[in-house]
A = this chain, B = another copy of it.
Amino acid sequence: MTWQITREDLADLARGATLLGTGGGGDPYIGKMLVERVLGDGSITVLDPDELADDLFVIPTAQMGAPTVMVEKIPAGTEPTLALRILEEHLDRRADATMPIECGGINSMIPLIVAAETGLPVVDADGMGRAFPELSMETFAVYGVHGSPLALAGERGERVIIDTGDDDRQMEWLARAVTIRLGGVGHIAEYAMTGADVRRTAVPRTLSMALALGRAIREAREEHRSPFEAIQDTLASTLYCHVRTLFEGKVVDVDRRTTEGFAKGVARIAPVGGGDEQLEIRFQNENLIALRNGELVAIVPDLICVTESESAEPITTEGLRYGQRVRVLGISTPDLMRTPDALAAFGPTAFGLTEEFVPVEDLVPAPEIATNAN
């Protein structure tokens, strides 16, 4: 089903995308402002992946960089479209649509800026099904569509094209170097593909899922229902059907540094009333692993989402503050993100973790949130 996004949807979409950002992905509220400015009272056409023509030509667009830098370095707004145009010129082919490479965080919004500026539709799918810190961590790549050639645009009109053939990690390695030298943020177009490729390699309907999540949280608050129940109810019918509460407490320690173009660190959460229990979350832009009293309770690629304990407002890595009351959720990812090839690309070992992947629904079997929500 083809549907439309208008400015009224953007706040909900931003909220849902922040949740799917699992701590990273950049702040979608900045992206939201940029979309609003370009979109005005217009609307953006969203295409369902199942309805794409096989030969539709899709060029995904995104921003890359450390979220800690993105907060301070707001893009002019024209760079993502410039990145698309650079890739179109290089390939000598015009795009029929754009698409997120990452539905979590600001990269849920960047393709909407491009769509609003160019009139192109956006495909309701992405290649991460959440947020990941590296450009090579894509279901697209796992299932055979590679990122090269990548086009990268800088805020002063710099134009860079990187083609590393099938080696998406080398593409990431070189693009990251350029992004660091552009001041920490670059705008990119990459993983150009056909409609048939989208169906074969993308995580479907993650844009609509982010919007539905953000809307459900808001409506629950307005109606004084539990927003955590709303999250659970929304996800129940999606590919992300298992939701677990990993911990409730307050933030007692955040160790965070921006290094090599990433925001890396550790957060610790303890019970509000005191006690020996503790949740430790390690992150690289996104939350990677959660250990409760030293025992694994969730691990990448499953989602580890820190939220405000009353409102369920998602909190990003750079938004973590000492003393915050939080509930940490674990959310299962779709099967196509848990295959051996997928885990090799963005599972624990891809981040240098020694723990093996275990589905969050196996680590925390019960109770479901609905039964213990306050």
Contacts and interface: CB of A to CB of B under 8 A. Distances in A.
5 contacts: A156-B164, A158-B174, A159-B161, A159-B164, A178-B178
A219 interface: no
Given A177-B178, A178-B177, A160 B161 contact: yes
B157 A165 contact: yes
Nearest to A163: B159
Nearest to A160: B162
Nearest to A157: B165
Contacts of A162: 158-160, 178
Closest A-B pairs by Cβ, 10 of them: A177-B177, A159-B163, A161-B161, A177-B181, A158-B164, A160-B162, A174-B178, A173-B181, A174-B181, A177-B178
Interface string A207-245: 000000000000000000000000000000000000000
A38 interface: no
A167 B157 CA distance: 10
A136 to B, nearest CB: 14
A180 interface: yes
Nearest to A150: B160
Nearest to A148: B159
Interface string A119-163: 000000000000000000000000000000100001011111111
A160 B158 contact: no
A231 B90 CA distance: 49
A5 interface: no
A158 B177 CA distance: 14
Contacts of A154: 164
Given A181-B177, A182-B174, A163 B163 contact: no
Interface in A227-283: none
A173 B177 CA distance: 10
A208 to B, nearest CB: 36
Interface in A47-85: none
B157 A174 contact: no
A170 interface: yes
Contacts of A163: 158-160
Given A158-B174, A162-B178, 6 more contacts: A156-B170, A157-B165, A158-B162, A174-B182, A177-B178, A178-B178
Nearest to A173: B181
